[in-house]
Amino acid sequence: MKKLIVSTFLGVLSFSGSAFGIAVTVNGSGCPISGDAQAYYDGDELVIPTGDMNVKKGNDIELSAKRKNCSLTLASEQNNKIAVRSVRVRGWTDLRSGDELKLTFDRFIQGEGKDYPISFSAKGPENQGFEFSYKLSPSEKVWSECNPTRALTLNTSLLLKGAEGQFAQAELDEIRVRLDLVKCP
């Protein structure tokens, strides 16, 4: 297991010394911010723990607490193009009747102007753990360019909707991503 340290709210993770050669920059209200937060490879999955990605709503809870995001920018350090093969997310919900959790996993190339979202949702009443997974077909893959200044960005967001004043919460525990790499000419 290769461990990566996230040192700040806007941090850089890198797989130095590994065969993968991918630098990952993290940024967002739901990204790990603790100096103890770690991301790592588990087999061929990039695992990003996101314990800080907690959304909630209810009386006396700020509106901004209903939405969180974590953006990961992947850049090859070994002249490879990168694409997401599959994504898997794990977390839990505590939703009342009428509440809905929407999780969006969006992929885009910096500066391209297009995005490619995958969405999951859970509706209340529900109080349990969840796991969503999605395997992309070859036509759904978004490949980074060989130019390292136009990296592949993955933005994961959680949005909690439902009756105002009614308490609900959800948390995303981790994001697991399988990547495909192709050597640039």
Question: What does the alpha-carbon distance between residue 139 and residue 72 come to, in Å, rounded to a whole number?
Answer: 22
Per-residue burial over 35-72, b if 16 or more Cβ lie within 10 Å, else e, is eebebbbeeebbbbbbebbbbbbbeebeeeebbbbbbb
Quick: pLDDT tens for 57-104: 999 899 889 999 988 888 887 888 888 999 999 999 999 999 999 999
Dump pLDDT digits (tens) for 93-113.
Answer: 999 999 999 999 888 887 777
pLDDT of res. 44: 79
145 by Cβ neighbours in 10 Å (0-12 / 13-18 / 19+) ranks as: middle
pLDDT above 50 (res 35): no
Alpha-carbon span 170 to 181, nearest angstrom: 33
Beta-carbon count within 10 A of 161 CB: 16
150/52 Cα distance (integer angstroms) = 28
On the CB side of 122, CA atoms within 13 Å amount to 27
How far is residue 169's CA from residue 95's CA, in Å, rounded to a whole number?
Answer: 6
Q: Alpha-carbon distance 178 to 86, whole Å?
A: 5
- Report the amino acid identity of residue 162: G
**Tens digits of residue pLDDT in 113-123:** 777 888 999 99
